[in-house]
Amino acid sequence: MLDIKFLRENPEVVKQNIRNKFQDQKLELVDKVMALDKENREIKQEVEALRAKKNKISKQIGALMAQGKKEEAEQIKKEIAADGARTAELSAREKEVEAEIQQIMMVIPNIIDPSVPIGKDDSENVELERFGEPVVPEFEIPYHTEIMESFDGIDLDSAREVAGNGFYYLMGDIARLHSAILSYARDFMIDRGFTYCVPPFMIHGNVVNGVMSFAEMESMMYKIEGEDLYLIGTSEHSMIGKFIDSILPEEKLPLTLTSYSPCFRKEKGAHGIEERGVYRIHQFEKQEMVVLCKPEDSMMWYEKLWKNTVDLFRSLDVPVRTLECCSGDLADLKVKSVDVEAWSPRQKKYFEVGSCSNLGDAQARRLKIRVNGEKGKYLAHTLNNTVVAPPRMLIAFLENNLNADGTVNIPEPLRMYMGGKEKLIPKK
């Protein structure tokens, strides 16, 4: 969410940012909020003047009564009563105006970084760099659920009966591999100085509004019926929410956290839920990284975060590339974002396995996360990035470590989590 002062002083900058994000339907909101802001400031000035007048003339009543000037005193009382009614009327309108301003400001997108490429949607995202050599083996690679089924490792049919499409049972070596990857990712981030955390998997509505836009909430979040609770779509939601309405000592920054959680998503929109696979699903688990830092350090941390993901995937012999998200593909709160995509030998293309985002002070402004520094209080910057999110990671891992005989190589870093196994042997 933008600072109203910034919008007031830079309306054309805000409008151009809206155009850059191809959200022209929001242009009128800038003029609307400026008019409301002007009205709000005029209301405050009038209320302040009326209160000052009341304080001044109230002192006259006692003096007039002492002088026997009862009629004059009564006239002043009537004037005060009339001004009081006007003050109450203005105060009620002030609350309405401020609520409307807040609602509009929550919809106007954050200012994107100047380095972000301008484009309408994800088809115009820009490849930045490749890491590792993408290989297409001479043998045919089966669909990922077929690989899992060869190990008796997945049951989609039973899951469909129990919960519907978008759910799964993982079993045996595949379930163990799933847990091993998460455990490895946890320790990988701890070794890089991040504090491990397991957060709440449900959050209140005010936290939801603080961490994401209305559009994201509608397409992603599951609400618990009859309660002010939502299932989290990623642990970033509750991790940033941890600091709601707090003042952080500057010397404690940066806060670098890595968190585990299940994630629950409606997955509404163009992509839909797969019936056969586990690429786009309603429930999965993820290891996340979150940083709260000083504004001047946020771009440095942005670079560090996505590199952590690249390093983890390369340590497991999975080639990846980074893709800069264009303006039209950025969620409203984001300043800059990069996707990490893994190589799929079967599809002969890359696919998304994680996303790194710098949100500037947008979440901190909504949640009132402030820093107490030498020069006073200011808003923290927040960033988040996927460390790893199986079972999507399993697709990349299995395809890139599959052998012609159906076995799957276990890279050395994972072996301690897999009971020392160097290969998975298919059962079918």
Tell me, yes or no, if 130 is annotated catalytic. no
Tokens 């003047």 -> residue: 49
Task: Pinpoint the alpha helices (H) of 251-324.
Answer: 298-315
Instruction: State how far the Cα of 321 lies from the Cα of 417, in Å rounded to an integer.
Output: 26
Q: Angle at which helices 27-66 and 70-105 pack, to 10 degrees?
A: 160
Per-residue pLDDT of 43-63, as tens digits, reads 999 988 888 877 777 666 666
Tell me, yes or no, if 355 is annotated catalytic. yes
Instruction: State how far the Cα of 149 lies from the Cα of 135, in Å rounded to an integer.
Output: 24
Q: Which residue in 160, 192, 280, 415 is the catalytic one?
A: 280
Q: Which residue in 150, 235, 238, 355 is the catalytic one?
A: 355
Domains of the chain: 4-105 (1.10.287.40), 122-424 (3.30.930.10)
Tell me, yes or no, if 370 is annotated catalytic. no
Instruction: State how far the Cα of 304 lies from the Cα of 294, in Å rounded to an integer.
Output: 15
Is the Cβ–Cβ distance between 295 and 378 less than 8 Å? Answer: yes
Instruction: State how far the Cα of 276 lies from the Cα of 144, in Å rounded to an integer.
Output: 9
Residues 6+ away with beta carbon under 8 Å from 63: none
Q: Angle at which helices 298-315 and 172-191 pack, to 10 degrees?
A: 140
Tell me, yes or no, if 51 is annotated catalytic. no
Any long-range contacts for 17-21 (C-beta under 8 Å, 24+ apart)?
A: 17/109, 17/111, 17/112, 18/108, 18/109, 20/112, 20/118, 20/327, 21/109, 21/112, 21/327, 21/328, 21/330, 21/332
Is the Cβ–Cβ distance between 401 and 181 less than 8 Å? Answer: no
Q: Which residue in 124, 219, 352, 415 is the catalytic one?
A: 352
pTM here is 0.89
Per-residue pLDDT of 334-352, as tens digits, reads 999 999 999 999 999 999 9
> Burial of 251 by CB count in 10 Å (0-12 exposed, 13-18 middle, 19+ buried)?
exposed
Residues 6+ away with beta carbon under 8 Å from 362: 1, 2, 110, 333, 334, 335, 382
Q: Which residue in 321, 365, 370, 392 is the catalytic one?
A: 392
Helix, strand and coil in the chain, % to nearest 5: 45, 20, 30
Tell me, yes or no, if 280 is annotated catalytic. yes
What are the 10-residue block averages of pLDDT along the chain, 428 residues in total?
Answer: 94 98 97 96 91 74 64 73 84 94 95 97 96 95 96 95 93 97 98 98 95 83 94 96 97 97 81 73 95 98 98 96 97 96 96 96 97 95 96 94 97 96 93
Q: Which residue in 186, 265, 346, 370 is the catalytic one?
A: 265
